[in-house]
Structure 1
Amino acid sequence: MAKHPAQKKRRVEVVVISDVHLGTYGCHAKELLAYLKSIKPKTLILNGDIIDIWQFSKNYWPAAHMQVVRHLLSLMSKGIKVYYITGNHDEMLRRFAGMKLGSLQIQNKVVLELSNGQKAWVFHGDVFDVTMQHSKWLARLGAVGYDTLILLNRLVNYGCQKLNRPRMSFSKSVKNRVKSAVKFINNFESTCADLAAENGYDYVVCGHIHQPEIREMETFNGKVTYLNSGDWVENLTALEYNAGKWSLYQHSLALAQMELADNTEEEGDSAEELHGLLTNHQLFENLLAEFNQLKLRA
């Protein structure tokens, strides 16, 4: 198969991605891999829910999901600063907050000093979710329902593509029409902005609600810019910071399809081989054991 000409990677000062949900049917791992291979960041912030430990199953871990993990590891090996900020779906890693391993840091929140002298307060955002605080079982049930809805949505959109009809988003429709969902999103954004302004930060950067946004907000304590990196389940978005400005990146599905043939060839492992690897070595049990050992040595 003829390869597409190699494209020069874009240099980006800071990249923020969140809510990838590796290990679920809704995750667009191939598209994320294509995006990550198209950029050269100085700092990469993984702002929570990267691996969905809530719904992780050894029966579903496609090759593309492992390729994303391997690419992230390759960025760390090159000395690129990577912050892994814990979210609710990967809260198991919160016990390792503060741990540093090479260029990787695991944190619950980060204050980022930007090149323009301003400060960005970065955290996942589930701390402001009342359901997470008081009814975690309900949040987990909702996560399963959401993943099922996304899977159904992808099947419907496959049919739409065959019939040359526009794509649909069930969850976006629900969010836009249900008043309680709209109210929750507005309250979430206002709470984040209020606290950021109160603490003297110029930007507050979140994930969690799968709603990409860049918006300047007026609070009692002054103006602050609220940013949300969206997700890689529905919106396929990331935040990028360059030359003193933030921008919202929306990945093109068409572009991803052109690039993915090469990505698959480069990585090599089949889904069956990776599935066997995970089953035999119990990926997460070993990963946590390794973190424990590293913490004891530190």
Structure 2
Amino acid sequence: MLHCRTIFLSDVHLGCKDCRADYLLSFLQQSQADTIYLLGDIIDLWAMRKQVHWHLNQNKVVRCLLDKAEQGVEVVYIPGNHDEAMRLYAGKSFGNIRIALRGCHTTAQGKKLLLLHGDEFDKEVNFGRTHAWLGDNLYDLLLFLNRWYNRLRRLTGGSYFSLAAYIKSKVPGAQKAIARYRAAAIAKAKRGGFDGVVCGHIHHPEIRLEQGIIYCNDGDWIDSCTALVEQLDGSLALYHWTEQAEKIAALPLSASGKKAA
């Protein structure tokens, strides 16, 4: 069982055919936290306008979150662009889950973190409408390849591997867009007087210290299958949760903002 202070999740995309609700459900069932932040794109209303892919594990994820909220876990939902309709309910609660446009969290080490989804930085990242359209369609292709590649791996006894993340890491244009996004998020946190920022949106899990600001992206549950966790000592770590349920190594940050030994 994973015991921690805080869990940060985003980009679950419930209702999308590529949602890995099975892995997320396993993570939630084996985790205990005081607070859970849902940082947007939890429900994929965009995908469901075309076709709804909703199965039992997705129902169980929603039920699990509601149960945790009823049991006293503070659950805060900060909507993203794919579930932006939920922004209309900011300030209200649904089943003990509070809706907010953004948030602020202070770690056990006294670090003040800005919490948001991150779609507000799109204008600073995109190269234009054509490039944005091309990027969306290329990502859909990557998810298609990722889906079939892992089906073949399972048939041959292999474990889950994010082919989509691997390919993105090799594309210079994708890395440039990620760097622009990171810079925009860090600048936002710096202007607001925060020690760090936690966001999602771009499906690229990462913890990095830059310009004295802790940048955290909690990834997604489409291809990366990652969650950001504040551990009991206040350090931050990314957890990669597939059938192996293994922690990503060498990512916790110490109180000084440096990687822990």
Tell me which interval the TM-score lies in, with the shorter structure as reference length. 0.7 to 0.9
The residue that corresponds to 1:44 in the other structure is 36
Check the 8 A contact 1:44/1:83 in 2, yes or no. Answer: yes
Check the 8 A contact 2:126/2:132 in 1, yes or no. Answer: no
**From 211, 227, 241, the counterpart of 1:251:** 241
Check the 8 A contact 2:16/2:52 in 1, yes or no. Answer: no
The residue that corresponds to 1:240 in the other structure is 229
Is it true that 1:27 corresponds to 2:8 in the alignment? no
Extract unaligned runs of 5+ from structure 1: 1-8, 257-298
Q: 1:201 to 1:20 in 2, by over 3 A?
A: same
- Report the more deviating stretch, 202-211 or 171-180: 171-180
- Report the more deviating stretch, 56-65 or 198-207: 56-65
SS in 1 for 2:86: helix
Q: 1:145 to 1:94 in 2, by over 3 A?
A: farther
**Deviation, structure 1 residue 61:** 0.9
The residue that corresponds to 2:196 in the other structure is 203
**From 47, 69, 73, the counterpart of 1:55:** 47
Cα separation, 1, equivalents of 2:90 and 2:129: 21
Cα separation, 2, equivalents of 1:187 and 1:135: 14
Alpha-carbon deviations, 1:276-297, whole Å to 9, x = none?
A: xxxxxxxxxxxxxxxxxxxxxx
Extract unaligned runs of 5+ from structure 2: 247-261
- Which structure has the highest helix share of the two? 1
- Report the more deviating stretch, 199-208 or 127-136: 127-136
The residue that corresponds to 1:104 in the other structure is 97
> Larger radius of gyration, structure 1 or 2?
1
**From 10, 15, 19, the counterpart of 1:18:** 10
Is it true that 1:162 corresponds to 2:155 in the alignment? yes
**Deviation, structure 1 residue 195:** 2.0
Q: 1:141 to 1:108 in 2, by over 3 A?
A: farther
Give the counterpart letter for 1:53 in structure 2: L
Task: Return the TM-score normalized by structure 2.
Answer: 0.83
Cα separation, 2, equivalents of 1:70 and 1:215: 33
Give the counterpart letter for 1:235 in structure 2: S
**From 146, 161, 168, the counterpart of 2:139:** 146
Is it true that 1:171 corresponds to 2:171 in the alignment? no
Check the 8 A contact 2:21/2:58 in 1, yes or no. Answer: yes
SS in 1 for 2:7: strand
Question: Superposed, which structure 2 residues align to 1:182-201 within 5 Å?
Answer: 182-201=175-194
Give the counterpart letter for 2:116 in structure 1: F
Cα separation, 1, equivalents of 2:177 and 2:144: 24
Cα separation, 2, equivalents of 1:139 and 1:23: 23
- Report the more deviating stretch, 33-42 or 196-205: 196-205
**From 65, 73, 81, the counterpart of 1:80:** 73
Alpha-carbon deviations, 1:89-135, whole Å to 9, x = none?
A: 10111111122346421112101133332211010101001299998
SS in 2 for 1:130: helix
SS in 1 for 2:183: helix
SS in 1 for 2:33: strand
SS in 2 for 1:83: strand
Give the counterpart letter for 2:55 in structure 1: P
Cα separation, 1, equivalents of 2:44 and 2:219: 16
Alpha-carbon deviations, 1:214-267, whole Å to 9, x = none?
A: 11001xxxx1110010111111111111212111111142359xxxxxxxxxxx
Cα separation, 2, equivalents of 1:230 and 1:82: 18
Q: 1:119 to 1:46 in 2, by over 3 A?
A: same
Q: Report percent identity of matched pairs.
A: 36
Question: Superposed, which structure 2 residues align to 1:277-292 within 5 Å?
Answer: none
Cα separation, 2, equivalents of 1:110 and 1:12: 19
- Report the more deviating stretch, 246-255 or 116-125: 246-255
Equivalent pairs counted in the alignment come to 244
The residue that corresponds to 1:180 in the other structure is 173
